[in-house]
Structure 1
Amino acid sequence: MIDDALLTLALSPILVPQGIYTKKVTPKLPEPEGSREGILGNGEPLRILILGDSAAAGVGVDSQNDALLGQLVSKLSQYRAIEWRLLAETGLKTSEMLERLHALEAFKTDVVITSLGVNDITGGTRLKHWLEQQRELKLLLQDKFQARHIFLSSVPPMHE
């Protein structure tokens, strides 16, 4: 069986121009306007942290109210006081998120939702290395930020 690296090298005269063209014509959508942290609702507090790339940042909608963050806060604040924080940026890789989290001052969070992986794939991060980074991320969230629940979103079916 042909090694993936060898196959990629053999196909590079086709893949490189396709990649350059795709990157050139793919539109860069803006991140939505709106607060990236706050408190809403009454009752027992629930602290939510959303981390990630463009999907977590809400690219594709006009307002954070319509993004994942806004939808969660809107629904959950009917039952609890929701304290939220969004740390997300278009193009972010797992390694960059780890750097940002290491640089942050510790704070306590109950629930963390992550959306990371697409930029790792498109940026050529090897699966083994990405999985190691995901393990490091989980441990950092538990140890430094006392995360009780961590939800990792799956990478979308990019082949489609």
Structure 2
Amino acid sequence: MNTPDGPPAGIRRRLRRPVALAQALIARRTVRLAPEPPGERRGVVAPDGTASPAGAGRERGAGEPLRLAAVGDSLVAGSGVDAQDQALVPRVARKVAARTGRDVEWATHARLGATMRRVRYRFLPQVDGADLLFVCAGSNDLMARRSLEEWTEDLDAVLDGAVRRGRHVVACSAGQLYRSPALMATLRSVLREWTDTQTEASAAICARRGVPFVDVAHCDLNEGFWAADGFHPSAAGYEMAADMVAAAMVDALAADAPDPVV
């Protein structure tokens, strides 16, 4: 029986899904996603922000730099900005270098449209011996309607491999597609539910493994967060996310520091 306000909530959710799927098909035809920006996908940044080609940290006699590797989707690839040096990973590298006083040698392994499965089989095998390994994907899994079981299987496998390839692993949630101004209302509403479910599962998997998890799916967004495509972060959006990711990495590195002598 319908309530005075319409069908029960469970029925309303089921009725929304066909509409959301139709809107997702429309979005695929009409939303013009920002491409991956040009520029080098690896380099070295000094604590003062000076950027150099990969390998330059050793050449300058600054000692072994911290090695930062990132694997993931378009958030790692930098879609939404004009050049790679404005993207998320170089920003994180600059912040980690400034806060630790060490050179950071960074590299990205990512593609627009990548799911966690692609990270598992394509990008993660390209990484070895990282001091910091950043894992960031999930939005494309949501848009592709991959099941929670598929998601957890792939994330488990990626983290299994990541802890063998990186001294410290930091994982990140999907972004906030449910707030994307490029998507229609019903699709955003359904994406919010799916994002909540995926984020909860990811946080639990990371907690069991002791992997720091950065939830960018539920934080407040700063002014000017969205790029021109209404789907990816702008430079301001990446700067906001970089603060959160870098803080988690610096905290992880601090655990390596010896206890002070008293």
Q: Return the TM-score normalized by structure 1.
A: 0.82
Higher RCO, Cα 8 Å, sep 6+: 1
What residue number does 1:96 align with?
118
Measure how far apart 1:37 and its partner are.
1.3
Larger fraction in helix: 2
* Corresponding residue number in structure 1 for 2:168: 149
- Identity within the alignment, %: 26
Q: Does 1:119 align with 2:140?
A: yes
Amino acid aligned to 1:80: R
Q: Give me the TM-score of the superposition, normalised by structure 2.
A: 0.52
Q: CA deviation at 1:44?
A: 4.2
CA distance in 1, matches of 2:139, 2:131: 25
Given candidates 74, 84, 100, the residue that maps to 1:64 is 84
Give the superposition deviation at 1:39: 2.7
Structure 2 match to 1:50: 70
2:43 is aligned to: 38
Count the aligned residue pairs: 154
Using the TM superposition, give the Cα deviation of residue 148 of structure 1 relative to its aligned residue in structure 2, in angstroms: 1.9
More strand by share: 1
Report the equivalent of 1:26.
31
Gaps of 5+ in 2: 1-7, 47-61, 180-262
Q: Radius of gyration: which is bigger? A: 2
Matched residue SS, 2:178: coil
CA distance in 2: counterparts of 1:116 and 1:11, whole angstroms: 23
**CA RMSD between the two structures:** 2.6
The secondary structure found in structure 1 opposite 2:89 is helix
Q: Distance in 2 between matches of 1:102 and 1:76?
A: 22
Whether the aligned pair in 1 keeps the contact of 2:90 and 2:106 (CA below 8 Å) is no
Once the two structures are superposed, residues 47-102 of structure 1 have per-residue CA deviations (whole angstroms, 9 ceiling, x without a partner) of 10111111111111111111112212333344212111100110001111111146
